[in-house]
Structure formats: C-alpha cells, structure tokens
Amino acid sequence: EYDACLPPCDQNHPKEHDKCLSYCTCFTDHVQTLFADHDRMTQQVIQQKTRDAIASLQKIANSCNLKHWGSAAHRLKF
C-alpha cells in the first residue's frame, strides 16, 4: 500500500513530500492492522468490491488525511 500511496501523493503535493511520507505511513500502518492478510484485502476490495471493506479503508484514509492535511480524504476509487 505504501508504494501505491506515495507517488500519487507526491504528484498532488509536490512541495510537501514530508507530509506525504507521514500520511502514507499512517495509512499503511492502519491498513496492515485492519487487514493482516494482504491477499484477502485485495480480494475483498479490488475483486469483490465489498462495501464494508471499502468503507473501512475510506475511514482510515479520512482519519490519516484529517491528521496530516486537515480535511477528509477524497473518495477512494477501486
């Protein structure tokens, strides 16, 4: 998740790399806590588009975004 997070964040915020590092670390740490099995997460979110799993990821994104950027995250797209 971290490798997928950092490049788009840096692209959207080219002058705030440190915030991107902090945000992506926050997001990745929380996702790994919620979904210990990466393959299962991929199956639930990407393949099955399970509403609860996507909602959980959105909550994590919102929480980390609020902490590091001061607002809720954009809607996650899968």
Taking only the tens place, the pLDDT of each residue in 47-71 is: 999 999 999 999 999 999 999 999 9
Report pTM.
0.88
Give dist(CA 47, CA 42) in Å, integer: 7
CA angle (30 as vertex; 35, 54 as ends), nearest 5: 60
What is the pLDDT, as a whole number, of residue 77?
86
Percent of the chain past pLDDT 70, that is, above it, reads 100
Burial class, 60, CB count within 10 angstroms (exposed 0-12 / middle 13-18 / buried 19+): buried
* 2-41 per-position pLDDT tens digit: 888 999 999 999 999 999 999 999 999 999 999 889 899 9
How remote is the C-alpha of 62 from its chain's centroid? 9
